[in-house]
């Protein structure tokens, strides 16, 4: 999977657009109260042989934690990323260098649609993460859910800290620190073989993965109240 490829296909299909204010330099917070806030779903081939297909998450105005807004994706928009070792599914993904202020509905083959702006790479070493994840009719097929970080043609999954998904309801948030220790991570995609330290220092994107499944994971995955707090320099 070549995430840096500018020939990537962005399919804008399901859900409502939203506005996102520029976050501070020390945190990235997604409440999803006004829209999907740039989170997408990765489908390796899109079912048509096109590599690197992205679908927008669906946005719901209510029904999240405390009846707030939230986003969700399902198995109709994700597909197994077979070049990864082991095979992975990336049901939630955010390029923090391509933050969308306002996305128009309809398909697009432009890798950076109008409204996207660039930000500098983030240093995620020892960053703190908090998130609510919910599954509905979600069959993990033996998989676990992990946080991952990608940059420079390499992805590392934080396998030392599996993330609990609450089924059929919103549960307590998951809190964890992105510890800069390679023994706690797994490098699944590594054409550039970027070290964990260099990847976390210059991250380009991040999200959540399913790894360890016996066959493709099915069902619906929802997310609310994502917070990323950078460590002090």
The ranges assigned to domains in the chain are 9-229
- Per-residue pLDDT, 50: 63
Return the higher-pLDDT residue of 177 and 23. Answer: 177
- Per-residue pLDDT, 55: 87
pLDDT at 85 over 60: yes
What's this model's pTM, rounded to 2 decimal places?
Answer: 0.83
- Mean pLDDT estimate for the chain: 83
Joined together, the tokens standing for residue 165 give 């998904």
* Direct distance between the N- and C-terminal alpha carbons of the chain, in angstroms, rounded to an integer: 32
Joined together, the tokens standing for residue 74 give 């399902």
* CATH of the domain spanning 9-229: 2.60.120
- Per-residue pLDDT, 74: 97
Q: In Å, how far are 2, 34, 232 from 153, measured between CA atoms?
A: 7, 32, 27
DSSP secondary structure letters along 139-197: E-TT-EEEEEEEETTEEEE-TTS----EESS--PPEEEE----GGG-EEEE-SS---HH
The Cα 217–Cα 42 span in angstroms is 13
- Per-residue pLDDT, 109: 35
- Per-residue pLDDT, 167: 97
- Per-residue pLDDT, 86: 95
CA neighbor of 178 nearest in space, from 15, 70, 28, 3: 28
How sure is the predictor about 192, in pLDDT bands with cuts at 50, 70 and 90? confident
Q: Please report the sign of the dihedral spanned by the C-alpha atoms of residue 144, residue 160, residue 38, residue 40.
A: negative
Using an 8 Å Cβ cutoff, are 104 and 36 in contact? no
Please state the rounded mean pLDDT for residues 29-58.
Answer: 85
Using an 8 Å Cβ cutoff, are 38 and 223 in contact? no
What would you measure as the largest C-alpha separation in the chain, in angstroms?
Answer: 45
Min mean pLDDT across 42-56, 63-77, 147-161 is at: 42-56
Return the higher-pLDDT residue of 202 and 120. Answer: 202
pLDDT at 196 over 60: yes
Please state the rounded mean pLDDT for residues 59-77.
Answer: 97
Please state the rounded mean pLDDT for residues 80-91.
Answer: 95
């Amino acid at each position: 999977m070549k995430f840096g490829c500018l020939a990537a296909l962005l399919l804008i299909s399901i859900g409502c657009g939203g506005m996102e204010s520029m976050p501070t330099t020390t945190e990235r917070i997604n409440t999803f109260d006004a829209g999907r806030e740039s989170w997408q779903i990765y489908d390796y081939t899109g079912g048509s042989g096109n590599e690197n297909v992205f679908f927008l998450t669906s946005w719901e105005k209510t029904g999240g934690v405390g009846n707030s807004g939230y986003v969700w994706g399902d198995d109709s928009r994700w597909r197994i990323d077979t070049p990864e070792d082991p095979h992975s599914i990336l049901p939630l993904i955010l390029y923090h260098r391509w933050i969308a202020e306002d996305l128009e509905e309809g398909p697009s083959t432009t890798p950076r649609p109008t409204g996207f702006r660039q930000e500098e790479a983030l240093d995620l070493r020892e960053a703190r993460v908090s998130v609510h994840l919910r599954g509905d009719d979600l069959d993990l097929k033996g998989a676990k859910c992990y946080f991952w970080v990608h940059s420079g043609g390499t992805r590392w999954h934080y396998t030392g800290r599996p993330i609990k998904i609450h089924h059929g309801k919103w549960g307590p948030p998951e809190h964890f620190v992105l510890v800069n220790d390679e023994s706690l991570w797994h490098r699944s995609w590594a054409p550039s073989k970027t070290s964990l330290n260099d990847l976390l220092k210059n991250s380009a994107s991040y999200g959540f993965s399913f790894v360890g499944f016996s066959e493709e994971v099915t069902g619906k995955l929802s997310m609310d109240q994502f917070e990323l707090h950078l460590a002090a320099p």
